[in-house]
Structure 1
Amino acid sequence: MSRQEIINLTTRIFVEEFEVDGSVIAPEANFRESLGLDSLDYVDLVVMIEEDFGVKLVEADFKPIITFNDFYTTLENKINAQ
């Protein structure tokens, strides 16, 4: 799966499932502040990522994520490690 496919699919998840304004999703934007998700939303996000990408994210995976680029890289690395 290409990085652009990851970006497109995760953007769809954020916009459709979490009702995030697509204009706040930018590579260098702050991931947590832009999404404004609570802890239960993160659980839902992890489930959706597992279903759509076939990889499992754990709490430790989110710690180094600051920007959307960091999120895409983390996801891309998990997918490529399979």
Structure 2
Amino acid sequence: MTPAEIREEILDILSDIAPDEDLSGLVDEKAFREQLELDSMDFLDIVMELRKRHRIQIPEEDYKNLASMHSTVTYLEPKMKDIVKK
């Protein structure tokens, strides 16, 4: 997947987890928690959804890398580079 495809995938996951949130103005460099009403369970749902959809394993010590869209895409890019978008 390209960085743009990964970003779209994360937006899709976020829209499933927080359907009432407006994701159109999301700032990539700003932390998700500063922009969205996400609690720790929502955050775990993101990790679980990545595992379910793409079999991506994210160790707990790496959760800090998923703080913003930019850091999430940067972290996931090498893990998802060989995944073909369906």
CA-based RMSD of the aligned residues comes to 2.3
Query: Which structure 1 residue ranges, 4+ long, deviate > 6 Å from structure 2?
Result: none
- Separation of aligned partners in 2, 1:62 and 1:29: 16
Q: Which residue of 2 aligns with 1:32?
A: 33
Letter in 2 for 1:8: E
Q: Which residue of 2 aligns with 1:3?
A: 3
Q: Give the paired residue count.
A: 82
Q: If the length of structure 2 is used for normalisation, what is the TM-score?
A: 0.74
Unpaired stretches in structure 2, ≥5 consecutive residues? none
- Separation of aligned partners in 1, 2:45 and 2:67: 19
Structure with the bigger percentage of helix: 1
Structure 1 21/71 Cα, relative in aligned 2: closer, same or farther at 3 Å? same
Structure 1 67/56 Cα, relative in aligned 2: closer, same or farther at 3 Å? same
